Amino acid sequence: MAQTKHLTLSAGIPATVTLETNGARIEVVNRGAADVWFTTDESTPSADQDDVHIATGFSAVEVDDETAGKNSVVKLLCATAQKVSVRAL
């Protein structure tokens, strides 16, 4: 069963979302205008860093879940306060 979490990111502060399932895929829905950088391997993202995923403004991105173990861990970063949704598929 898919689990979804909704949150508002704080400007410039990395946020961690832990889903109580390990999905084969993770979907990040960016509900604002600014870009959101994120990882699915428990590393902390930074803007313009190699091997970091990006959800551009008002988009949805689906990527592989690279978290080992039973929970999916997604770390997100945005330059502005931004609403996002994260879902394990």
At 21 the pLDDT is: 85
Compute, in degrees rounded to 10, the torsion defined by CA atoms 54, 25, 44, 5.
Answer: 90
Give the 3-state secondary structure of residue 87. strand
At 23 the pLDDT is: 74
pLDDT tier at 1, thresholds 50, 70, 90: low
Q: How far is CA 89 from CA 1, 7, 19, 25, 85, in A?
A: 8, 18, 11, 5, 13
Per CATH, which fold does 3-88 belong to?
Answer: Jelly Rolls (2.60.120)
pLDDT, mean of residues 38-60: 96
pLDDT tens sequence across 7-43: 999 999 999 999 988 878 999 999 999 999 999 999 9
- Residues forming beta bridges with residue 5, ordered by sequence position: 86
